[in-house]
Amino acid sequence: MLETESLYELWETLKGYIPGKDRIEAGEMFIRQCDDLGMSTEEIEELIDGDEVLQVAMDRYFSDEVVDEDYDDWD
């Protein structure tokens, strides 16, 4: 797994090529990949410290996850 600093540097580099209107969605994909790599929410929080786009993306990603889990319980 890449070091967290390398992951953040990758995001910072790519972010400049992503149109502003698409950054939240791209950020959610970035957060999903971090989650899929097995990073804890605490590790992801530390990684995105200070990045507003990634904070919004993380909030959305994990709030969607909670809603999905709640929905599964209704079946």
Q: Mind listing the pLDDT tens digit for each residue in 16-34? A: 999 999 999 999 999 999 9
In the chain, domain spans = 4-73
> In this structure, is the dihedral angle defined by the CA atoms of residues 31, 52, 8 and 49, taken in order, positive or negative?
negative
For residue 55, pLDDT beyond 60: yes
The answer to whether residues 30 and 55 touch, using CB atoms and an 8 Å cutoff, is no
CA dist 75 and 71 (Å) reads 7
Q: What does the pLDDT read at residue 8?
A: 87
For residue 73, pLDDT beyond 70: no
Q: Model's pTM, two decimal places?
A: 0.78
For residue 68, pLDDT beyond 60: no
